[in-house]
């Protein structure tokens, strides 16, 4: 079951997505996600990390260690200890003209 908890020893968030893991696939990684240190437990690929956070993988744009990823490749992009990950959503908009 996906969930977020608190790691009392390190006082950091713990992201868990172990239900998708088969035996031996789950890993525990220390990451920086959105500028905050987190401990992630689950498959070491970008799609699984995003799903554990409840992110919409159809619309999310991701930058890992400064490199922007192609969302079609999320499940093929490995994540590793110490990775810095930013999740971005771009919004359309315009200028409102005063009356």
Domains located in the chain, CATH noted: 3-88 (3.10.20.30)
Helix (H) or strand (E) holding 47: helix 46-52
2 contact partners, CB below 8 Å, separation of at least 6: 16, 17, 19, 51, 52, 54
Most distant CA pair in the chain: distance in Å? 63
> For the chain, what is the mean pLDDT?
79
Instruction: Give pTM, 2 decimals.
Output: 0.67
Tell me which of 24-28, 59-63, 69-73, 88-92 is least confident.
24-28
Tell me which of 30-34, 42-46, 69-73, 85-89 is least confident.
69-73
């Amino acid at each position: 079951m996906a969930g977020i908890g608190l790691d009392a020893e390190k006082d950091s968030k713990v992201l868990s997505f172990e239900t998708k893991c088969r035996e031996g696939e789950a890993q525990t990684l220390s990451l920086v996600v959105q500028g905050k240190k987190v401990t992630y437990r689950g498959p070491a690929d970008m799609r699984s990390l995003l799903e554990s956070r409840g992110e919409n993988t159809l619309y999310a744009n991701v930058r890992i260690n400064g490199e922007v990823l192609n969302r079609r490749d999320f499940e093929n992009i490995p994540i590793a200890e110490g990775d810095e990950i930013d999740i971005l959503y771009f919004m359309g908009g315009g200028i409102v003209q005063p009356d």
